[in-house]
Amino acid sequence: MRVIVLGATGEMGRRVSDLLEARGHSVGRASRSTGVDAVTGKGLAEAFAGADAVLDCLNKQTLSARKAIGFFSTTARTVTDAAHAAKVGHLICLSILNVGDPRVNSRLGYYRGKAAQEAVYRSAGVPSTVVSSAQWFELARSLLGQVRVGRIALVPRMLAQPVSAGSVATFLADVVADGHRAETDRRIAGPDQHDLSELARRIAAVEEPRTRVLSAPFLGAGIATGGLLPHAVTTIDRVRFEDWLDSQTD
Ligand SMILES: NC(=O)c1ccc[n+]([C@@H]2O[C@H](COP(=O)([O-])OP(=O)(O)OC[C@H]3O[C@@H](n4cnc5c(N)ncnc54)[C@H](OP(=O)(O)O)[C@@H]3O)[C@@H](O)[C@H]2O)c1
């Protein structure tokens, strides 16, 4: 199968591209650094020619609703239009559990951008699957670096059922191999509920013990109290946070 991975230099795009190649697929790794710009459309027609599937792992790190909605809705439209023109058989968009829920996205512009992206994929004229993942364990580590005051890291309280990025890459590769099915939404979460600020504290204790982690519900009550938890049919992965954390120091 010929699969184009958009955002292939990123955290998830790189993992899933490696996995698809290891399974024997022909992978086209696309990002601006390989000459493909999903905002302007530059290079998409050439990249999509002869592709069986396109996997969107694009990202823009921003908290601004205007920027997030602009980026995710523009790239989704550009990608779905180019896929339609190239007669691509299956589009897969990687999203986040419950981002369309106003309890969750009211104070998080990034999630409103992801909701706009999902809406474009759901109405695309190409068979599409939206894969919604819970937050990754790796997100807890990156939250540690986002708001720092000296040795203090401020981390938002986020009650979620997080999952390892490696398990999400495997799930995505399986969705690609399955092709398009009647159901257009697939979901994955980890086995246990955790507050991500607590996970950040446990990661810091191992990886940067001089850092003190303070948690606060500054992304809103919906995120701190259960709005991110899986509510619909969801594949539950087996990898627990404790085992993931041990594997990081192996
Ligand atoms: N972190 C989580 O817990 C989590 C959970 C569920 C879902 N997700 C979703 O997973 C997706 C991937 O996240 P990630 O952390 O793997 O992303 P990432 O590491 O930030 O990588 C983003 C990728 O997008 C590419 N890119 C950005 N702008 C582009 C453009 N205009 N044209 C072409 N390529 C562009 C980047 O490459 P260049 O800069 O070279 O262009 C890079 O390869 C996101 O949509 C995110 O919402 C994340």
Six-digit token pair at 151?
């040795």
Supply the pLDDT for residue 217.
86
Supply the pLDDT for residue 219.
82
Report CA(197)–ligand 1 centroid distance (Å). Answer: 22
> Do 212 and 151 form a contact (C-beta atoms < 8 A)?
yes
Q: Which ligand 1 atom is at minimum distance from the Cα of 12?
A: 16
Residue by residue, pLDDT tens for the chain (250 residues) are: 999 999 999 999 999 999 999 999 999 999 999 999 999 999 999 999 999 999 999 999 999 999 999 999 999 999 999 999 999 999 999 999 999 999 999 989 999 999 999 999 999 989 999 999 999 999 999 999 999 999 999 999 999 999 999 999 999 999 999 998 877 899 999 999 999 999 999 999 999 999 999 998 888 888 988 999 999 999 999 999 999 999 997 6
- The amino acid at 157: R
pTM recorded for the entire structure? 0.97
Question: Any idea what the Cα angle at residue 170 is, between residues 186 and 62, rounded to 5°?
Answer: 70
- Cα gap 26→188, rounded to integer Å: 25
Domains of the chain and any CATH numbers: 2-248 (3.40.50.720)
Supply the pLDDT for residue 250.
65
Report CA(113)–ligand 1 centroid distance (Å). Answer: 13
Nearest residue CA, atom 14 of ligand 1?
A: 11
- Cα gap 97→213, rounded to integer Å: 25
Supply the pLDDT for residue 220.
83
* Residue 113 CB neighbours (<10 A): 27
Supply the pLDDT for residue 249.
78
Report CA(33)–ligand 1 centroid distance (Å). Answer: 13
CA count, 13 A, side-chain hemisphere, 152 = 5
Report CA(64)–ligand 1 centroid distance (Å). Answer: 16
Q: Which ligand 1 atom is at minimum distance from the Cα of 110?
A: 47
Parallel, antiparallel, or unpaired for β 152-156 and 148-149?
antiparallel
Report CA(8)–ligand 1 centroid distance (Å). Answer: 8
* Ligand 1 pocket by Cβ (under 6 Å): 7-13, 31-33, 36-39, 57-61, 94, 96, 114, 133, 135-136, 139
Supply the pLDDT for residue 166.
98
